[in-house]
Chains A and B, each alone.
Chain A
Amino acid sequence: MPRDTNTLIAQLVADLDPVRPLRFSSGLGSALAGLGITLAVVALLFGFRHDLGTASSDPVFLLAAGLFLVLGLASAITVVIMCRPRVGSDYDGWIWAAATAALLPIAAAIVLTGRGVGSVSSAATGHGLACLASGCALSILTFAILVWWLRRGAPTSPERAGLLTGIAAGSFGIFAFTFHCTFSDIVHIGLWHSAVVVVSAAIGRLAVPRLVRW
């Protein structure tokens, strides 16, 4: 960098190329496209559960899918907004969606306490681990899209942007996988499906800041 600021300005002016401003709709559209592709991957690789769209759809499945979708949307929207810096912006709206989604593991813990930890079979644990692994794998596309968008943007809170990227990616990943998973038990969904969001959020919080710092 030159010592003299006027020289730097002259260099920056000479280097100027027209730019296309980042649009909120493009950012959110990219994230939703990622979700659409993730759903298609679930349909092609695993197949959707049979009771989908029928009157016999399980209410726990429907509620959980809705909560993960809302949490994913709220977090993804916040990440896209964070790409365009502005003093006085409020990035706290996602917290309410997270608080609502937290009811799933809380309910699971209450039910599990009543049933007793011994009621969890090794088969159920194995299935839970499979859901955790699949949900995390299905989060990768949304994760990559949001990180790419953040790198194009100018997030002024990289740590929070990383956390929200992880939450959005994990929520979309497990939302998509919920359409395959046939376990509609609140303990299974509340613990293992929620764990996908927690794991993804932790990875986002730890890994993303160094990727998006500018």
Chain B
Amino acid sequence: MKADELSLARLMVMAQAGDKQAYCTLLNECQVWLRRYFGRRVAPGQLDDLVQDTLFALHHKLATWDSTRAFMPWLAAIARYRWVDHLRKIYRADEIELAVDLAEVDEEPAIAARISLERLFAQLPDAQVRAIELVKIEGLSVSEASRACGQSESLIKVNIHRGLKRLTALIEKA
């Protein structure tokens, strides 16, 4: 069964009132949605951690949902925040892998389109997109990427740094 917006909102109202059974059903539905959402955005090995992290955040921020507004945009905002935080942590560790398979986009096109990499890349200069694609997605070394696109090695590093910084800002604003 796939829960719709109305059912999830109703479950959330009951959960805010302390109904444990409704909350259990809600968290399980959220888990399914989050797995699909993050499945296209992070490496498979990081999926469980990110789903759990987001469920934990949802639990602590239950009071921030307003029953007069839709549930899914609230859940999506929390999921996106955790994802951005996840990207930041990886970025800081210099191990970024932007594993996004947009070919498998299914029935949540509005949110997926809003924060898809293609759409975000369109707002970055070509040189930054090329540097990120070669090094962070295709997995080339900086020197290999330099030979492939004609940018100097230092320029590749600068373009990756600036591009990812801008990308994070765009994701937050999406």
Contact = CB atoms under 8 A, between A and B. Distances in A.
A210 interface: no
Interface stretch (B1-9, B19-27, B158-166): B19-27
Contact of A214 (B31, B57, B111, B114): B57
B28 interface: yes
B172 interface: yes
Contact-residue size bin, chain A (C-beta under 8 Å from the other chain):
20 to 34
B69 interface: yes
A8 B74 contact: no
Nearest to A159: B172
A66 to B, nearest CB: 30
Interface stretch (A54-62, A149-157, A162-170, A176-184): A149-157
Contacts of A8: 52, 55-56
A153 B20 CA distance: 22
Contact of A22 (B23, B27, B63, B76): B63
A21 B67 CA distance: 8
Interface string A5-32: 1001110111111111111100000000
B92 interface: no
A15 B77 contact: no
Contacts of A187: none
A12 B56 contact: yes
Find the residue from A5, A18, A87 having the highest chain B CB count within 10 A: A87
Nearest to B79: A87
Contacts of A18: 16-18
Contacts of A157: 172-173
Contacts of A13: 20, 23-24, 27
Contact-residue size bin, chain B (C-beta under 8 Å from the other chain):
35 or more
B113 to A, nearest CB: 12
B27 to A, nearest CB: 5
Find the residue from B63, B84, B174 having the highest chain A CB count within 10 A: B63
A93 interface: no
Given A8-B55, A86-B74, A19 B66 contact: no
Interface in A76-131: 83-89
B48 A154 contact: no
A44 interface: no
B73 to A, nearest CB: 4
B83 to A, nearest CB: 11
B76 A87 contact: yes
B31 A9 contact: yes
Given A9-B31, A13-B24, A214-B60, 16 more contacts: A8-B55, A9-B24, A9-B27, A12-B56, A14-B20, A16-B59, A18-B16, A19-B63, A21-B66, A22-B64, A23-B66, A83-B64, A84-B66, A86-B73, A156-B81, A157-B173
6 contacts: A5-B52, A9-B24, A16-B20, A22-B64, A22-B66, A156-B81
